[in-house]
Amino acid sequence: MIFIRLYIESLKQKENQGVTANISYSQIAKETSVSRTHLRRIVDAAAKKNLMTPHENMTLTLHDSFITLAEEYMGLYFAFVLYCLDIDPTSSTLM
C-alpha cells in the first residue's frame, strides 16, 4: 500500500527530474495503517537503493528509478493476475 500510495502521489506532482512528494510520514502512515517507525525503515531501505531521497522536513524526492520500478512491478503484477485468471485483455467481453 505504501508503494502504491507514493506512486499515486508522484503522478499528482510529476516533474521532469524527480518528483517531490510533499506528504508527511504521519499522513502516509495513517492512510496505509503502518507505523511511522516501520515507514521510516522502508524509506531508509529505499534511499539506500537510490529510489528516493528523504528530507529533513519529512518530504520525499522520488527518483525516476522509483517510478520505473513501480510501473514495471504493477505491469508484471497485473499481467500475472490476468494470466492466472485466464483472462484475455484483448477480449471484447471485458469492455
Whether 20 shows a pLDDT value over 90: the answer reads: no
Global pTM value: 0.75
Tens-place pLDDT, residues 22-43? 777 888 888 899 998 999 899 9
Q: How far is CA 54 from the centre of its chain?
A: 14
Whether 83 shows a pLDDT value over 80: the answer reads: yes
Tens-place pLDDT, residues 39-75? 989 999 999 999 998 888 877 888 889 989 999 999 9
84, burial (CB in 10 Å: exposed 0-12, middle 13-18, buried 19+): exposed
